[in-house]
Amino acid sequence: MAGFARASSSLALFLLCLVVSSSEGREFLVGGKTDAWEIPNNSSQSDSLNQWAENSRFRVGDTLVWKYDGSKDSVLQVSKRDYVTCNTSSPIEEYKDGNTKVKLDQSGPFYFISGAQGNCLKGEKLLVVVMSSKHSGHLGMAPAPSPVEFGGPAIAPTSGSGPFGGGLIVVFGVLAGWVLM
91 binds ligand NAG (CB under 6 A): no
CB of 44 vs ligand NAG, minimal distance in Å: 5
Q: Which ranges in the chain belong to alpha helices (H)?
A: 2-22, 48-55, 80-85, 165-180
Site for ligand NAG in 19-48 (CB under 6 A): 35-36, 38, 40-42, 44-45
The reply to whether 85 sits near ligand NAG by the rule CB under 6 A is: yes
Q: What contacts 91, CB < 8 A, 6 or more positions away?
A: 76, 77, 78, 82, 115
Nearer to ligand NAG, 59 or 125 (CB): 125
> Should residue 90 be labelled a site residue for ligand NAG when binding is judged by CB under 6 A?
yes
b/e per residue, 87-98, with b = 16+ CB within 10 A?
A: ebeebeeebbeb
Q: Are 63 and 102 within 8 A, CB to CB?
A: yes
62 with 102: CB under 8 angstroms? no
CB nearer to ligand NAG: give 86 or 130.
86
Nearer to ligand NAG, 35 or 141 (CB): 35
Query: Which of 41/51 has CB closer to ligand NAG?
Result: 41
Nearer to ligand NAG, 9 or 85 (CB): 85
By the 8 A CB rule, do 105 and 32 touch? no
Q: Does 87 bind ligand NAG (CB under 6 A)?
A: yes
8 A C-beta contact, residue 165 and residue 158: yes
Contact set with ligand NAG (CB under 6 A)? 35-36, 38, 40-42, 44-45, 85, 87, 89-90
